[in-house]
């Protein structure tokens, strides 16, 4: 078990050593052990729990009560946010590893990772804060690593996702989450920018012959998204175009089906469409995926 001397523990909490010793005398917490020489040694887990609780309450007595009750606590958005605000990448990794011991990858992302980063605020077209910028880069890397170890596709259907978000948007993480969820469900899935030019889009549609096309992100012009929808439907009369997280906007009167805001929920809806009795099957051909007539 990791331990800290008084000065290190006080520094983690942002208080003086005298303040930390006064908390010990007044509240009996944290509860250090004593070395043979009489020096205090604080349990790192207790200090981390107290720091997190203090960040949440800004009141020492309330923070101590909370820290005593839950100890280090389960992996949570609050703990992850705290680690990201301190730019502690290894601690953020450890929190998600703890979550994966009790949650699936999908639940870890939707219940811990995304809420933590969402709580850091949004860039709203401006430069993100240092904390948000760090968190977005870390989360992008974590999701990419999870995607690399996803099992290979077990189904013939393909799904194309076109992302119209900026790198500093949390919407970009939601797009990556949807891609990860679909890949882990056994679907051949590709995430591309919505700014793709017409000739490259035609090549992608020919190579993958997608059954479903998903539009997401809120940074593209409607005519760009409309062009993707038009070319997708022109490539195959059976392709279905759907909206994830309001890419087309609430005022748009398009009949494009909306998938909601949850990647897991969107995955379930997409799988239901592919599994519907009238869904046309696919077989592989040398040019990608060909429809069985």
Three-class secondary structure of residue 17 per DSSP: helix
For residue 1, what pLDDT is reported? 46
For residue 157, what are its two tokens?
Answer: 């259907």
DSSP β-bridge partners for residue 217 = none
> 189-201 burial by CB neighbour count: b if 16+ within 10 A, else e?
bbbeebebeeeeb
What's the DSSP call for residue 155? S
For residue 290, what pLDDT is reported? 34
For residue 188, what pLDDT is reported? 95
Q: Is the pLDDT of residue 87 over 70?
A: yes
Close Cβ partners of 21 (under 8 Å, ≥ 6 residues apart): 6, 40
> 219-248 burial by CB neighbour count: b if 16+ within 10 A, else e?
bbeeebbbbbbebbeebbeebbbbbbbbbb
Q: What is the pLDDT of residues 46-65, one digit of tens each?
A: 888 888 888 888 899 998 88
Q: Quickly state the pLDDT bin for 82 (edges 50, 70, 90).
A: confident
Q: What is the pLDDT of residues 202-213, one digit of tens each?
A: 999 999 999 999
Q: How many helices (H) and strands (E) are present in the chain, helices listed first? A: 13, 10
Q: How many residues does the chain have?
A: 293
For residue 124, what pLDDT is reported? 56
Q: What is the pLDDT of residues 133-187, one digit of tens each?
A: 999 999 999 999 999 999 999 999 999 999 999 877 899 999 999 999 999 999 9
Domains of the chain: 3-70 (1.10.1660.10), 77-144 (1.10.1240.10), 153-291 (3.40.50.2300)
Looking at residues 62-80, what average pLDDT do you find? Answer: 76
Q: Quickly state the pLDDT bin for 75 (edges 50, 70, 90).
A: confident
For residue 252, what pLDDT is reported? 55
Nearest-CA neighbor of 204 among 241, 171, 159?
Answer: 159
């Amino acid at each position: 078990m990791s331990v800290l001397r008084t000065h290190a523990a006080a520094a983690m909490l942002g208080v003086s050593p005298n303040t930390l010793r006064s908390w010990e005398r007044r509240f009996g917490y944290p509860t250090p052990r004593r070395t043979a020489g009489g020096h205090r040694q604080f349990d790192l887990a207790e200090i981390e729990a107290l720091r997190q609780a203090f960040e949440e309450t800004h009141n020492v007595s309330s923070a101590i009560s909370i820290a005593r009750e839950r100890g280090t606590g389960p992996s949570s958005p609050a703990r992850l946010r705290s680690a990201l605000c301190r730019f502690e990448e290894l601690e953020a990794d450890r929190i998600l590893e703890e979550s994966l011991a009790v949650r699936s990858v999908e639940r870890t992302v939707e219940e811990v990772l995304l809420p933590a980063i969402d709580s850091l605020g949004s860039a709203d077209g401006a430069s993100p804060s240092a904390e948000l910028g760090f968190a977005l880069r870390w989360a992008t890397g974590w999701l990419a690593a999870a995607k690399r170890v996803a099992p290979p596709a077990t189904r013939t259907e393909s799904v194309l996702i076109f992302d119209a978000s900026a790198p500093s948007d949390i919407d970009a993480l939601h797009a990556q989450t949807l891609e990860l969820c679909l890949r882990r469900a056994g679907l051949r899935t590709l995430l591309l920018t919505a700014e793709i030019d017409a000739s490259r889009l035609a090549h992608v549609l020919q190579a993958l012959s997608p059954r479903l096309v998903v539009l997401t992100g809120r940074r593209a012009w409607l005519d760009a998204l409309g062009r993707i929808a038009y070319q997708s439907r022109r490539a195959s009369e059976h392709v279905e175009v759907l909206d994830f997280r309001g890419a087309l906007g609430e005022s748009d009167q398009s009949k494009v089906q909306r998938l909601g805001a949850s990647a897991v929920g969107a995955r379930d809806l997409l799988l239901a469409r592919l599994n519907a009795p009238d869904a046309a099957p696919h077989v592989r051909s040398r040019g990608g995926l060909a429809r069985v007539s």
